[in-house]
Amino acid sequence: MAAAVSSRAAGDACAPSPDLVGTLTDSSILKTKVYIGGEFIEAADGSTLEVVNPATGQRIATVPRCGANETRAAIAEAATAFESWGRRPGKERAAILKRWYGEVVSARDDITRLMTLESGKPLAESRSEFDNGVASIEWFAEEATRSCGDVLESPDRHRRFMVLKQPVGVVGAITPWNFPFSMITRKVSPALAAGCTVVLKPSEDTPLTAFALAGLAERAGMPRGVLNILTGDAKAIGEALVKSESVRKIGFTGSTTVGKLLMQGAASTVKRVSLELGGNAPFIVFEDADIEKAARDVVGSSHRNSGQTCICTNRVLVHESIHDAFVEALTKRVAALRLGSGLEAGTTQGPLISAAAVDRVEGKVRDALAKGAVAACGGARPSWEAGSPLAGGYFFEPTVLIGGTVDMRMFHEEVFGPVTPVYKFATDDEAVQLANDTQYGLAAYFYTRDLSRAWQVAERLEYGMVGVNEVAITSEVAPFGGVKQSGLGREQSKYGLAEFQDIKTVCLGIGGGT
Ligand code: ADP
pTM for the predicted model, two decimal places = 0.96
Identify whether residues 226 and 375 lie together within a single domain.
no
CA dist., res. 405 & res. 270, Å (int):
42
pLDDT band at 10 (very low <50, low <70, confident <90, very high): very low
Q: Let me know if residue 389 belongs to a domain.
A: yes
Chain segment 346-395, per-residue pLDDT in tens: 999 999 999 999 999 999 999 999 999 999 999 999 999 989 999 999 99
Ligand 1 pocket member 235 (CB < 6 A) = yes
Identify whether residues 335 and 271 lie together within a single domain.
no
| pLDDT surpassing 50 at residue 1 | no
Q: Which residue, 344, 398, 338, 388, is CA-closest to 123?
A: 344
Identify whether residues 160 and 173 lie together within a single domain.
yes
- Which secondary structure element, helix H or strand E, spans residue 191, and what is its range? helix 182-194
Ligand 1 pocket member 176 (CB < 6 A) = yes
Identify whether residues 305 and 193 lie together within a single domain.
no
Out of 276, 397, 414, 476, pick the active-site residue: 276
- For residue 226, what pLDDT is reported? 99
Ligand 1 pocket member 261 (CB < 6 A) = yes
Q: How many domains does the chain have?
A: 2
Task: Report how far ligand 1's centroid is from the alpha carbon of 118 (Å).
Answer: 17
Task: Report how far ligand 1's centroid is from the alpha carbon of 274 (Å).
Answer: 15
- For residue 14, what pLDDT is reported? 93
In 10 A of CB 508, how many CB atoms?
10
3-class SS of residue 318: strand
* 276 given a catalytic annotation: yes
CATH of the domain at 231: 3.40.605.10
**Mean pLDDT, to the nearest integer, of 275-284?**
98
CATH of the domain at 330: 3.40.309.10
Q: Let me know if residue 1 belongs to a domain.
A: no
Q: Let me know if residue 263 belongs to a domain.
A: yes
Ligand 1 pocket member 174 (CB < 6 A) = yes
The side-by-side arrangement of strands in the sheet containing 150-152 is 150-152, 159-167, 501-509
CA dist., res. 470 & res. 287, Å (int):
17
Chain segment 287-325, per-residue pLDDT in tens: 999 999 999 999 999 999 999 999 999 999 999 999 999
The alpha-carbon radius of gyration of the chain (Å, integer) is 24
pLDDT band at 19 (very low <50, low <70, confident <90, very high): confident
Q: Let me know if residue 77 belongs to a domain.
A: yes
Express as a percent the part of the chain with pLDDT over 90.
95
Chain segment 389-443, per-residue pLDDT in tens: 999 999 999 999 999 999 999 999 999 999 999 999 999 999 999 999 999 999 9
Number of the ligand 1 atom closest to the C-alpha atom of 259: 6
Task: Report how far ligand 1's centroid is from the alpha carbon of 174 (Å).
Answer: 7
Domain span holding position 118: 34-42+66-278+490-501
Q: Let me know if residue 404 belongs to a domain.
A: yes
Identify whether residues 366 and 468 lie together within a single domain.
yes
Identify whether residues 267 and 382 lie together within a single domain.
no
Going by the DSSP 8-state scheme, the letter that residue 24 receives in this structure is -
Chain segment 206-258, per-residue pLDDT in tens: 999 999 999 999 999 999 999 999 999 999 999 999 999 999 999 999 999 99
Identify whether residues 325 and 176 lie together within a single domain.
no
In angstroms, the first-to-last Cα distance of the chain is: 67
Identify whether residues 447 and 496 lie together within a single domain.
no
| pLDDT surpassing 60 at residue 327 | yes
Number of the ligand 1 atom closest to the C-alpha atom of 258: 6
Number of the ligand 1 atom closest to the C-alpha atom of 201: 14
- For residue 18, what pLDDT is reported? 85
Mean predicted lDDT score pLDDT of the chain? 96
Identify whether residues 340 and 466 lie together within a single domain.
yes
The values of phi and psi at residue 197, to 5°, are -115, 165
Ligand 1 pocket member 378 (CB < 6 A) = no
Q: Let me know if residue 391 belongs to a domain.
A: yes
**b/e sequence 212-241, b meaning 16+ C-beta within 10 Å:** bbbbbbbbbebeebbbbbbbbbbebbbbbb
Q: Let me know if residue 307 belongs to a domain.
A: yes
In 10 A of CB 68, how many CB atoms?
18
| pLDDT surpassing 50 at residue 2 | no
Task: Report how far ligand 1's centroid is from the alpha carbon of 189 (Å).
Answer: 21
- For residue 6, what pLDDT is reported? 52
